[in-house]
Amino acid sequence: MIDTHSHILPALDDGAETMEHTKRLLNMAVNEQLTGIIATPHGHHPNFKTDIAALHMQLKTVKDYVKEAQLPLEIYSGQECRLSDKLPERLANGEALTLAESRYVLLELPSSGIPAYTVPVIQQLITSGYIPIIAHAERNQGIIQKPERLKKLLIHGAMAQVTAGSLSGSFGKSIQKTALQLIEANMIHVYGSDVHSEDVRPFHFNAGLDVLEKKNRHQMIDILLENNDRILLDQDLYVLEPQDIEKGKWWNIFA
């Protein structure tokens, strides 16, 4: 299983503070039976300095440790890129990173809502050959208030990611409800932990899947995990059209 959203690299943002914290998170990942983690520290966030050189250095340090410790994990590069009209240029210049060197970009919106320029940025990214994936869509206040707002972003070509902890209930009942609503509406395509720490923001990877299991959304579990794998291969993602839920028909959205 691949985790497409994590803050495991040390001393870069509000995730792991030290390499010792990172090591403990990696052990937790093994216990969660994860086989790969895309490291996605915040990029161009107002509260965190973006230093690509430091990111690459920490990524190498973590990858070297994983190899030395013989952990059954692969660590991949990435960033959680803050919404900005400069993002396409930053990606082209190597000042921002896609997920595992694919065309997929983890796009972070302000938690308070959806800015008016979101659609133009999505369009710019797609025109430039990238595919934005909205990070933790269920935790955006605008989407919580009106979940169909996400649909507008999807119509313009974006994808959406749900956080494991949101499904497990660790962010509260309201966010869990929104997460399940978006999944029921087939507006979620990718799954990630958004892990930050061992206690306050752990993986919850399997706990979130267990909630879907109990709700008999086995097919959605398969789609989310398959799409996570397909990001690593830079392949097109799959979605399930609403009218085809019962028939179990798979649709390739780029066909």
Interior angle at CA 152, CA 183 and CA 44, nearest 5: 90
Domains delineated in the chain: 2-252 (3.20.20.140)
What pLDDT tens digit does each residue of the chain (255 aa) get? 999 999 999 999 999 999 999 999 999 999 999 999 999 999 999 898 889 999 999 999 999 999 999 999 999 999 999 999 999 999 999 999 999 999 999 999 999 999 999 999 999 999 999 999 999 999 999 999 998 899 999 999 999 999 999 999 999 999 999 999 999 999 999 999 999 999 889 999 999 999 999 999 999 999 999 999 999 999 999 976 643 333 333 333 333
Please give the Cα distance from 232 to 75 (Å, whole number): 11
Give bridge partners of residue 2 from the DSSP assignment: 36
Number of H helices, E strands in the chain: 10, 11
Please give the Cα distance from 164 to 116 (Å, whole number): 28
Please give the Cα distance from 169 to 189 (Å, whole number): 19
Q: Cβ contacts of residue 53 below 8 Å, gap of 6+?
A: none
pTM here?
Answer: 0.92
Please give the Cα distance from 171 to 177 (Å, whole number): 10
Q: pLDDT tens across 85-120, in order?
A: 999 999 999 999 999 999 999 999 999 999 999 999
Helices in 32-140 by DSSP H: which ranges? 52-68, 87-92, 118-127
Tokens of 210: 């267990």
> At 180, which amino acid appears?
L
